[in-house]
Amino acid sequence: MAPAAFRVLDQCRVPISSGDPPRPREASVPLTFFDAFWIIATPLNRLLFYRWSGTTSDFVASALPRLKASLSSTLRVFYPFAGRLRSLPGEVDIYCTDADSVAFTLAESDGDFLWLAGDAPRSSRELGLLAPPAPAPGADGLLPLFAVKVTVFPRAGFCLGFSMHHTLCDGNSFARFLRFWASACRSVGDHTPADDVAVLIDRSLVPDPRGLYTAFLKGVKVRAPPRPLPDDIVSATFLLRRAHIEALRSHASRTHPPAPPAPPRYSSFVLTCAHVWVTILKARQGPAATDLSGATCFAFMVDCRARLKPPLPEAYFGNCIVPCLVEAPLGFLVGEDGLGHAAKAIAGAVGRLGEGGEALLEGAEGWAARFLSWLPRGLLSVAGAPRLGVYQVDFGWGRPEKAELAGIDRSGAMTLAENREGEGGIEVGLALRLPEMEAFASLFDAALDAVA
């Protein structure tokens, strides 16, 4: 299929609206150690595809004003999204003023909307064009943290693309921002947004008795230059239905029953991650692999709002996630009982988090070093989570046709989301070179058939 053509129609900035709640002329949102950990990360690119049967002119006349007006009012509540990352002697903060705004790009494409919003392998580079470029630091050295791009596919649909620096917040907070904006967009000219999407911006709630903030900042400079995408990477989505997960649970529980400190029953998250981890290792090794020595590593993030002591409110805005790294012998995972080995290892890592508290931060000083040491060796990590409910984000034109995280090939991540069909199950997104993707797809289905 010929690459789609993209044409930028307009570039502007959406300011924070006036009104309530009142905003100070300037404010500083301090970073906690949870935020500081992500300063050197590349921005996240979230894509939401929606159906649209009208022309681009129709969109500009009716939908675009609603999106901009509702974003403006949402920024009044979630004002750090319009802020900028500022480096000061010995600290980094998010600098906010009442004159802040967010870059907003309108584009048009002649591409095949249904193909881009589908599950089959598609060019990762082409998907990446649907997200706005990562904002660059201004002349003052301050780094914008968020940008929006809307791409219209006439008489087919449109894509809402976002670039967000992870220092701003985690998936929980970003999902709240999207739900609030969507509610505001649905209610433009009618009523105020639903107030059940609360937000609490108070960094004083996060203590730092171990001095992790200073440790994470040591030697770090603010930067946001994403690496270019290789030309031969494709993105694809795979669905594990509820029946698939139950079959995987039965098989893994029979060959490698959960053992303390793991929970007594393998979760859908554990089984999904185990199945993908094992399958991607087999796809990369190939059937003729002979050197299966050494270890491999899997990483996922754990929301610890409820696990901290005292716990943080669910509405706390910012980052409140800790990394969990799982190491296992490569030979075990690509062997006959790989699924059980992987499930037991991941479940054990979850169980070792215990009831939270200090256990969450065990070895925190070495988190970054461990990540960096594993990156050259093919670390597989997880981005997104089914509980975030990305398919519930309705701006007034129905639920998303598809949700994607673009650019995951830069980080070696798999993505997770709820089944958009609403029948249980989990969607898995991957970005691999085409031969690896074809091998993965074959092994993914064959393994499910084997345990059915």
> Which residues are catalytic, by number?
166, 394
Query: What is the Cα–Cα distance from 364 to 356, expressed in whole angstroms?
Result: 14
User: What is the CA angle 334-339-340, rounded to 5?
Assistant: 120
Query: What is the Cα–Cα distance from 36 to 330, expressed in whole angstroms?
Result: 32
Beta strand 91-97 with 84-88 is antiparallel
Beta bridge partners of 381: 299, 413
45, 405 contact by CB (below 8 A): yes
197, 182 contact by CB (below 8 A): no
Spatial neighbors of 27 by CB under 8 A, at least 6 apart, are 79, 95, 96, 97
- At position 101, the amino acid (one-letter code) is S
In 3D, which of 33, 138, 136, 30 has the Cα closest to residue 92? Answer: 30
Tokens of 40: 């050197």
Tokens of 309: 């002591």
Using CA atoms in the order 30, 176, 69, 105, what is the torsion angle rounded to 10 degrees? 80
Query: What is the Cα–Cα distance from 151 to 52, expressed in whole angstroms?
Result: 11
Q: How many Cβ atoms sit within 10 Å of the Cβ of residue 114?
A: 14
Q: Could you give the count of Cα atoms lying within 13 Å of 431 in the half-sphere of its Cβ?
A: 25
417, 400 contact by CB (below 8 A): no
3-state per-residue secondary structure call for 316-327 = ECCCCEEEEEEE
